[in-house]
């Protein structure tokens, strides 16, 4: 651990983002009495004098107070939980809201507080806090009722504000002001900076939650023990100061003192006590119909099921969706509940829904549109109408299972209008959407005649989550342009509705790709490799879909054999493609196309003792996939566009750390935003892909080990479980919706 923290301390550039009260200085009976001392100022300045190191104080205090305490411009400041920041220049506001209403609330709270000795109202620009620590115990209840009535009335008319209760303080503040803003701001000001976030209270959890896989989060122990997203902890203000001195001394080459941090175990998913949780996806994880079970679908949702199951079980939750059976339009679709390890509420589709909604608008319009394939996009008003209508079916089905205040988590592009349909049925509870596919740029989205409607309906969700910051930015730009909404860095405000926007990169359950395989399975995969007459294997694993870039990959492999003839007879590519949407004509075409390229490359280069490409059109069990991943020297994951791409993470998880393979990853997969130690490649350029493959095959062991260790750290940090927990945490923090009477 000492060596690890020494390497953290030497990293350049580094940014220390630290809270003030309870972290750098101890709490005092009133904020005015908690003041930075000379020793602290000297410690902070000695850090900012070191090249490549920045100190940013991130506090809930008013910006004027921070300015007064830290006038030296080398210390950067983020005040009022992210509403103001001061970097190289003058103070900048980060939110665009009229502060007058909250100031009027502060006036009202002050007049309520007057007769209560000890009650104090603290004013900030977009917030006000009511402190009642010093109000006599027997007067607190009466004061609390009066203040709460005033605050509730205010919140009913001002959806951009929220109430946050602290230790003997109630605060009303702009919902957009979050300490997570400080992380994004630091990353834009200081490109490639590694962040050490330090804090003690709940608002610091937003900061910890926004940190990337290479950043460090440090919880300051002192108050009531609580669950935290932090990776490390220190003991009180003294521990923080000791840590800062350690960082300074290591970095400046002086003899460091004791390292005061200890590791914290990763948090268990928070199981928010609530009546229930309803998860909705187009298709249910397990089919109750008599159809043969499609292994990909099972595998595909496997991560989702394992991530969501404990949460659903603890909250008496339910998963709702299409059970997989289709009935003629003349029949009444049936519905029911299957009780299993998690309860599944299913209903049947009518034939016309499958045609118009699922194969039509979902798969022939939204899928290519969101993956930026404009030439594949079909625009058809009839399928759009079907899409709108099926949302009513889903909304009615949902309300059979939840009360008006329950939380609903909706998945993917099939259900973008669902919050609107639920609000129309007076659902007040929180509704979140997670989009598993990319969100395109505005110029692509605008191809859709109903783009404005779609965006407007998405703003009826309380939280919309994406895999990456890039998709999130595309959404914010589209929302601002198509619906004229007001956008902050992490929210959209439109017609009195407030929608939080966030990036929640999905992960896998790494352990399930690290189990020891049965010896028979090892032999089977070894036999497969031997039958190809090769020394090294390159592996592609995908659903057979045009977005996955399979023909392009095979063409690039042919090019690789042309450009690097020394590899002929020594390297083979195994491409595993699982059937997908085979009833859509375009997908059948894709299959024929892939088979044609395989034939061409094998015909051109193959020899009696060596097969260049082995194409396997089938699904495999997880154990088989794991062993294939382990055997392959290169994971060739080159989609033309992909929301995340879990195969990239599975490949990394399955490697032997002592002799790992190399991941060659498309720069257009969402995973590329996190997996910076893969070899990133451009799937549209065959020669570039060929050279990247050559480089991966020649990579020395030391470099392979180093890149793999860093990629594995990413895969283990953001798992399927932490993804589900952080989305639900963020959803539970959304201010409740006020319904119009
Ligand atoms: P998919 O487009 O299905 O998912 P991906 O993330 O790669 O893409 O997941 C595919 C899953 O299917 C993997 O778990 C893989 O192991 C499995 N699989 C693929 N081929 C298989 C085979 N032949 N046999 C067995 N299993 C196979 C969508 C988005 C992605 C996003 C996920 C999750 O398109 O971008 O990563 O959702 O949000």
**How many angstroms separate the CA atoms of 614 and 310, rounded?**
39
Cα dist from 389 to 66, 324, 385, 401, 434, whole Å: 54, 19, 6, 20, 21
Distance of CA 7 to the CA centre of its chain: 27
pLDDT > 90? residue 655? yes
Give the pLDDT score at 298.
Answer: 43
Stretch 260-286: mean pLDDT: 70
Q: Which of 259-268, 337-346, 618-627 has the least mean pLDDT?
A: 337-346
Q: What confidence tier does 139 reach under pLDDT thresholds 50, 70, 90?
A: confident
Six token digits for residue 304: 């989702």
pLDDT > 60? residue 269? no
Q: What confidence tier does 303 reach under pLDDT thresholds 50, 70, 90?
A: low
Stretch 339-355: mean pLDDT: 83
Give the pLDDT score at 1.
Answer: 81
Residue whose CA lies nearest to ligand 1 atom number 7: 645
Stretch 105-111: mean pLDDT: 93
Six token digits for residue 273: 């006590």
Cα dist from 93 to 72, 79, 83, 345, 488, whole Å: 20, 10, 6, 47, 11
Identify the active-site residue in 201, 286, 462, 642.
Answer: 642
Cβ pair 468, 156 in contact under 8 A: no
Give the pLDDT score at 223.
Answer: 64
Query: How much distance in Å is there from the Cα of 341 to the middle of ligand 1?
Result: 23
Query: How much distance in Å is there from the Cα of 473 to the middle of ligand 1?
Result: 24
Give the pLDDT score at 304.
Answer: 73
- Mean of per-residue pLDDT scores for the chain: 89
pLDDT > 60? residue 293? no
Ligand 1 nearest atom to the CA of residue 643, by list position:
35
Q: Which of 283, 543, 544 to mutate to test ligand 1, by most ligand atoms within 8 A of the CB atom?
A: 543
CB-defined site of ligand 1, < 6 Å: 295-296, 299-300, 436-437, 506, 541-543, 576, 578, 619-620, 625, 642-647, 650
Stretch 306-314: mean pLDDT: 73
Ligand 1 nearest atom to the CA of residue 669, by list position:
35
Among residues 184, 223, 224, 231, the alpha carbon closest in space to that of 205 is found at: 231
Q: Give this prediction's pTM.
A: 0.74
Identify the active-site residue in 436, 467, 491, 708.
Answer: 436
Query: How much distance in Å is there from the Cα of 519 to the middle of ligand 1?
Result: 26
**How many angstroms separate the CA atoms of 112 and 297, rounded?**
59
Q: Inter-axis angle of helices 100-113 and 137-157, to 10 degrees?
A: 160
**How many angstroms separate the CA atoms of 517 and 533, rounded?**
23
Give the pLDDT score at 286.
Answer: 57
Q: Which residues of 628-654 are buried (b: 16+ CB within 10 A; e: fewer)?
A: bbbbbbbbbbbbbbbbbbbbbbbbbbb
> Which residues pair with residue 195 across a beta bridge?
15
Ligand 1 nearest atom to the CA of residue 650, by list position:
16
3-state secondary structure of 86: strand
- Encode pLDDT of 504-539 as tens digits: 999 999 999 999 888 999 999 999 989 999 999 999
3-state secondary structure of 726: helix
Cβ pair 649, 507 in contact under 8 A: yes
Cβ pair 6, 185 in contact under 8 A: no
pLDDT > 50? residue 270? no
Phi, psi angle pair for 463, to nearest 5°:
-140, 130
The rounded percent of the chain whose pLDDT value lies above 90 is 61
Q: Which of 512, 541, 623, 653 to mutate to test ligand 1, by most ligand atoms within 8 A of the CB atom?
A: 541
Residue whose CA lies nearest to ligand 1 atom number 10: 300
Residue whose CA lies nearest to ligand 1 atom number 9: 646
Residue whose CA lies nearest to ligand 1 atom number 19: 542
Residue whose CA lies nearest to ligand 1 atom number 28: 436
Ligand 1 nearest atom to the CA of residue 302, by list position:
14
Among residues 369, 360, 507, the alpha carbon closest in space to that of 438 is found at: 369
Query: How much distance in Å is there from the Cα of 276 to the middle of ligand 1?
Result: 29
Q: Which of 411, 641, 643 to mutate to test ligand 1, by most ligand atoms within 8 A of the CB atom?
A: 643
Residue whose CA lies nearest to ligand 1 atom number 24: 619
182-191, 328-337, 393-402, range with greatest mean pLDDT? 393-402
Q: Is 642 a catalytic residue?
A: yes
Phi, psi angle pair for 113, to nearest 5°:
-70, -25
- What is the helix (H) or strand (E) element at residue 547, kind and residue range? none
Q: What confidence tier does 275 reach under pLDDT thresholds 50, 70, 90?
A: very low
Six token digits for residue 509: 């359950």
Give the pLDDT score at 236.
Answer: 94
Q: What confidence tier does 471 reach under pLDDT thresholds 50, 70, 90?
A: very high
3-state secondary structure of 339: coil
Tokens 């926004």, located at residue: 210
pLDDT > 80? residue 213? no
Query: How much distance in Å is there from the Cα of 300 to the middle of ligand 1?
Result: 5
Query: How much distance in Å is there from the Cα of 645 to the middle of ligand 1?
Result: 6
Q: Which of 282, 373, 647, 720 to mutate to test ligand 1, by most ligand atoms within 8 A of the CB atom?
A: 647
Query: How much distance in Å is there from the Cα of 302 to the middle of ligand 1?
Result: 10
């Amino acid at each position: 651990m000492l060596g690890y923290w020494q390497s953290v301390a030497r990293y350049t550039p580094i940014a220390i983002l630290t809270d003030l009260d309870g972290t750098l200085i101890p709490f005092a009976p009133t904020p005015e009495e908690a003041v930075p001392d000379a020793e602290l100022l000297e410690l902070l300045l000695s850090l900012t004098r070191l090249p490549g190191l920045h100190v940013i104080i991130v506090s809930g205090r008013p910006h004027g107070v921070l300015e007064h305490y830290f006038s030296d411009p080398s210390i950067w400041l983020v005040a009022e939980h992210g509403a103001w920041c001061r970097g190289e220049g003058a103070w900048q506001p980060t939110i665009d809201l009229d502060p007058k209403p909250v100031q009027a609330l502060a006036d009202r709270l002050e007049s309520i507080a007057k007769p209560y000795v000890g009650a104090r109202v603290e004013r900030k620009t977009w917030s006000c806090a009511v402190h009642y620590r010093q109000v006599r115990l027997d007067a607190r209840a009466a004061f609390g009722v009066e203040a709460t009535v005033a605050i509730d009335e205010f919140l009913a008319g001002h959806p951009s504000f929220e109430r946050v209760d602290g230790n003997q303080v109630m605060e009303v503040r702009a919902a957009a002001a979050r300490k997570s803003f400080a992380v994004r701001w630091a990353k834009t000001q200081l490109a490639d900076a590694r962040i050490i976030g330090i804090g003690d209270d709940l608002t610091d959890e937003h900061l910890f939650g926004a940190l990337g896989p290479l950043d460090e989060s440090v919880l300051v122990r002192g108050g009531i023990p609580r669950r935290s997203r932090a990776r490390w902890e220190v003991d009180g203000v003294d521990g923080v100061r000791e840590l800062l001195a350690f960082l300074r001394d290591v970095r400046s080459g002086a003899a460091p003192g004791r390292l005061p941090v200890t590791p914290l175990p990763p948090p268990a998913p928070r199981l928010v006590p609530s009546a229930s949780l309803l998860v909705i996806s187009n298709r249910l994880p397990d089919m109750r119909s008599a159809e043969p079970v499609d292994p990909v679908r099972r595998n595909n949702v496997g991560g989702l099921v394992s991530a969501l199951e404990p949460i659903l079980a603890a909250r008496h939750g339910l998963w709702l969706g299409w059970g997989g059976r289709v009935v003629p339009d003349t029949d009444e679709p049936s519905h029911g509940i299957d009780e299993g390890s998690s309860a599944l509420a299913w209903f049947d589709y009518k034939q016309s829904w499958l045609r118009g909604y699922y194969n039509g608008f979902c798969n022939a319009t939204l899928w290519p549109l969101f993956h930026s394939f404009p030439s594949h996009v079909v625009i058809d008003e009839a399928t759009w109408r079907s899409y709108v209508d099926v949302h009513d079916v889903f909304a009615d089905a949902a309300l059979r299972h939840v009360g008006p205040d329950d939380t609903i988590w909706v998945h993917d592009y099939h259900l973008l209008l669902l919050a609107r349909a639920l609000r129309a049925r007076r659902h007040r509870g929180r509704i979140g959407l997670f989009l598993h596919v990319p969100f395109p740029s505005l110029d692509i989205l605008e191809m859709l005649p109903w783009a404005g409607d779609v965006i407007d309906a998405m703003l009826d969700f309380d939280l919309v989550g994406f895999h990456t910051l890039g998709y999130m930015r595309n959404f914010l730009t589209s929302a601002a342009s198509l619906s004229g909404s007001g956008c902050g860095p992490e929210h959209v405000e439109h017609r009195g509705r407030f929608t939080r926007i966030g990036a929640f990169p999905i992960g896998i359950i790494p352990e399930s790709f690290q189990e020891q395989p049965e010896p028979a399975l090892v032999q089977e995969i070894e036999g497969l490799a031997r039958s190809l007459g090769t020394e090294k294997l390159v592996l592609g694993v995908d659903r057979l879909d045009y977005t996955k870039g399979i023909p392009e990959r095979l063409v690039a492999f042919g090019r690789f054999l042309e450009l690097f003839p020394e590899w002929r007879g020594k390297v083979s590519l195994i491409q595993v493609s699982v059937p997908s949407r085979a009833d859509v004509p375009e997908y059948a075409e894709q299959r024929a196309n892939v088979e044609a390229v395989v034939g061409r490359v094998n015909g051109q280069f193959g020899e009696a003792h060596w097969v260049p490409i082995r194409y396997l059109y089938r699904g495999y069990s997880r154990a088989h996939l794991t062993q294939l991943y382990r055997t392959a020297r290169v994971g060739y994951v080159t989609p033309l566009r992909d929301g995340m791409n879990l195969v990239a993470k599975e490949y990394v998880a399955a490697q032997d750390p002592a002799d790992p393979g190399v991941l060659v990853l498309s720069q257009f997969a969402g995973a590329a935003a996190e997996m910076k130690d893969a070899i990133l490649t451009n799937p549209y350029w065959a020669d570039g892909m060929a050279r990247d493959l050559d480089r991966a095959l020649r990579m020395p062991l030391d470099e392979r080990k180093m890149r793999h260790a860093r990629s594995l750290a990413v895969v283990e940090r953001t798992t399927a479980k932490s993804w589900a927990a952080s989305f639900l945490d963020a959803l539970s923090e959304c201010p409740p919706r006020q319904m119009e009477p």
